[in-house]
A and B are shown apart, each in its own frame.
Chain A
């Protein structure tokens, strides 16, 4: 079964610091990759997604992620965070061939940006 690991459970940063959140998945076949964000009290929003093509994906709000197939990784980055980036971030993976539309999520990383 596919699994997704997010390395950090909690991250605390100051405004303007750079952010990188790690995500590794277990399946070696063709995958679709996602990062979702959940702001306090709100529902999940899609930050960015990778289906194919350029492994460097740009999403909303200045976020980007890089798919490195050889490392089974899809790390999320933002060069300069803002207080409003305080949220929980989830990496998710889909392996359509094996599991249809099912998304497998990582455990989430809570990010706190101090003003």
Chain B
């Protein structure tokens, strides 16, 4: 089954404790992206990756890091989480190339930073 998976689904942590949220897709997609969802603001893009070893900032990259060492994985790293990063996070993937392709979303990770 074609899917995007994220782990963990729920996470409660404390300020300053480094964490990683994993994202994996089994569709051989070139493009992957992270969004955060906050009430009234919709989803905002954090980082994206056009392919392996190619990443770039989205609209709200501060406080986050990403890496793309393998095509299927795109982890989101919070080196020193703060309470304002409490949010619902979604990973998405799509085919790349010339033109836009439909994005497939993961199930979301609800992060609480206390």
B-binding residues in A (CB < 8 A):
4, 6, 9, 32, 36, 42-44, 46, 49, 51, 90, 92, 94, 96, 100-103, 105-108
Partner among B58, B96, B101, B105 whose Cβ is within 8 Å of the Cβ of A43: B105
- Provide a sorted-by-A list of 14 A–B residue pairs whose CB atoms are within 8 angstroms: A4-B42, A36-B105, A42-B107, A43-B107, A43-B108, A44-B90, A44-B105, A90-B43, A100-B48, A101-B101, A102-B33, A103-B103, A105-B43, A106-B42
Most chain B CB within a 10 A radius of its CB, from A92, A103, A106: A103
How near does chain A come to B39, taking the closest CB pair, in angstroms?
8
Measured as residues with beta carbon below 8 angstroms from the partner, the interface class of chain B is: 20 to 34
Q: Which residues of B contact A36 (CB under 8 A)?
A: 105
Q: Which residues of B contact A6 (CB under 8 A)?
A: 42
Q: Are B40 and A9 in contact (CB under 8 A)?
A: yes
Most chain A CB within a 10 A radius of its CB, from B33, B43, B105: B43
A-binding residues in B (CB < 8 A):
31, 33, 35, 40-45, 48, 50, 58, 90, 92, 94, 96, 99-103, 105-108
